[in-house]
Amino acid sequence: MKREIDARGLACPGPVIAAKKAIEEAGDCVIVVDNEAARDNVCRMARSQGCTAKVGEDAGTFSIHITAGGGPGKTEAVVPSTGPTVVVFPSDKMGQGDDELGTVLIKGFFHALGEVSPKPDTLIFFNAGVKLTVQGSEVLEDLHSLEEQGANILVCGTCLDFYGLKEKIQAGTVSNMYDIVETMLSAGKVIRI
Amino acid sequence: MTSEDPYLIALFPSTSGALMAEKLFKREGIPHKIIPVPRHISSDCGVCLRFSASERQRAETTLAGKVDIQDICPI
């Protein structure tokens, strides 16, 4: 008998957190939600954890059947797991060229990151990239949503200090070069923005 | 977003139009988010402005005569 979690009526990110807990504790489980956003978010999180998610719908209620990763020996074949995906942000812009355009692109990048899957496991911000994680950043909402879905966000402490932004950090955890280097070296792939 | 106040997106003929519109929205204090144009609307790599349907009137007034709008549509 699979564990069944009734997440109807829970505000975002309640259903995702409840589902994550159920997967960690019970493995296979069924999450019941009452809206499409919760359905999509729970499915995305489950897949990011290497699980499969199948959705049944009945009169506006969605039952998401989650099968824990590695189950029936097929997850591995479908998703070749070679280690975590790490995305690094050395700048608060996307690409080099026009700064205004680079700012728009990075905002678009974070929005799209929230919409697609699979999600990166870790995001690392250093040099001017740390500006994306502090008060006034226009991508904070997206960063918080990624964190809620399980992404690990590392922010270079040296860099925050250099820019005088240490007190203003609003997303992620202040990290150091050892964590950053270890995370990069143990990654399946590192994507530099 | 609630079901009573869904999001709309404003599309512009150029990226610089979207940038200009973002500046005007900021100045007017209209809550918005600049996002890539959804794939089901265009396969081009464009950006557009997302805002709440309840702000439509204010959005149109703010942009009128200043920025060419290609379309305003539900997301």
Residue B69's pLDDT is: 92
The parent domain of residue B22 ranges over 7-74
Bond prior to B31 in cis (omega within 30° of 0): no
Residue A72's pLDDT is: 46
The dihedral sign for the CA sequence A176, A121, A144, A21: negative
Site from B11, B22, B37, B42 to mutate, A interface, most A CB atoms within 10 angstroms: B22
The answer to whether residue B2 is domain-embedded is no
The answer to whether residue A75 is domain-embedded is no
Residue A80's pLDDT is: 53
3-state secondary structure of A53: strand
Residue A81's pLDDT is: 54
| Tens-place pLDDT, residues A165-181 | 999 999 999 999 999 99
Question: Which of A44, A70, A96 marks a domain boundary?
Answer: A70
Please compute the mean of the pLDDT values over residues A114-134 and round it to a whole number.
95
**Are A182 and A92 found together in one domain?**
yes
Indicate yes or no: CB of B22 within 8 angstroms of CB of A101.
no
Nearest CA-CA distance, residue A104 and chain B, Å: 7
Inform me whether the pLDDT recorded for A78 exceeds 60: no
Rounded to two decimals, the ipTM of the complex is 0.74
Alpha helices in A49-186 (DSSP H): 75-78, 99-115, 140-148, 157-162, 177-185
**Radius of gyration, CA atoms only, chain B:** 11
**Are A39 and A99 found together in one domain?**
no
When divided into structural domains, chain A yields a total of 2
List residues in chain B touching A: CB distance below 8 A. Answer: 15, 18-19, 22, 33-36, 47
| Tens-place pLDDT, residues A10-66 | 877 788 888 888 888 888 999 999 988 889 888 888 888 888 999 999 888 999 999
The answer to whether residue B45 is domain-embedded is yes
Identify the segments of chain B with pLDDT beneath 50.
1
**Are A61 and A98 found together in one domain?**
no
The answer to whether residue B47 is domain-embedded is yes
The answer to whether residue A46 is domain-embedded is yes
CATH code: domain of residue B18: 3.30.70
For chain A, the residue count is 193
- Cβ atoms within 10 Å of A167's Cβ, excluding its own: 8
Nearest CA-CA distance, residue B48 and chain A, Å: 9
**Are A141 and A168 found together in one domain?**
yes
Q: Which long-range contacts (CB under 8 A, 24 or more apart) does A167-174 make?
A: A168/A134, A168/A135, A168/A136, A169/A130, A169/A133, A169/A134, A169/A135, A170/A133, A170/A134, A170/A135, A170/A137, A170/A140, A171/A133, A171/A137, A171/A140, A171/A143, A171/A144, A171/A147, A172/A123, A172/A125, A172/A133, A172/A143, A172/A147
Q: Which residue of B has its CA nearest to A142?
A: B33
Residue B11's pLDDT is: 93
| Tens-place pLDDT, residues A83-95 | 899 999 999 999 9
The better pLDDT of the pair A79, A36 is held by A36
CB-neighbour burial class of residue B61 (10 A; exposed 0-12, middle 13-18, buried 19+): exposed
The answer to whether residue B66 is domain-embedded is yes
Exposure class string for A23-45: b at 16+ Cβ within 10 A, else e: beeebbbbbbbbbeebbbbbbbb
3-state secondary structure of A25: helix
The answer to whether residue A182 is domain-embedded is yes
- Cβ atoms within 10 Å of A131's Cβ, excluding its own: 20
**Are A32 and A61 found together in one domain?**
yes
Tell me what the pLDDT averaged over chain A comes to: 89
**In the numeric block, which tokens belong to residue A182?**
């270890």
Instruction: Specify whether the CB–CB gap between A64 and A46 falls below 8 A.
Output: yes
When divided into structural domains, chain B yields a total of 1
Q: How confident is the model at residue A73 (pLDDT cuts 50, 70, 90)?
A: very low
The parent domain of residue A27 ranges over 3-70
> What residues pair up with A52 in beta bridges, in sequence order?
A67
3-state secondary structure of A31: strand
The answer to whether residue A166 is domain-embedded is yes
| Tens-place pLDDT, residues A137-171 | 999 999 999 999 999 999 999 999 999 999 999 99
CATH code: domain of residue A150: 3.40.1260.10
Please report how the helices A14-26 and A36-48 are oriented relative to each other, as an axis angle in degrees rounded to 10: 40
The answer to whether residue B68 is domain-embedded is yes
The better pLDDT of the pair A7, A82 is held by A7
**Are A152 and A184 found together in one domain?**
yes
Residue A25's pLDDT is: 86
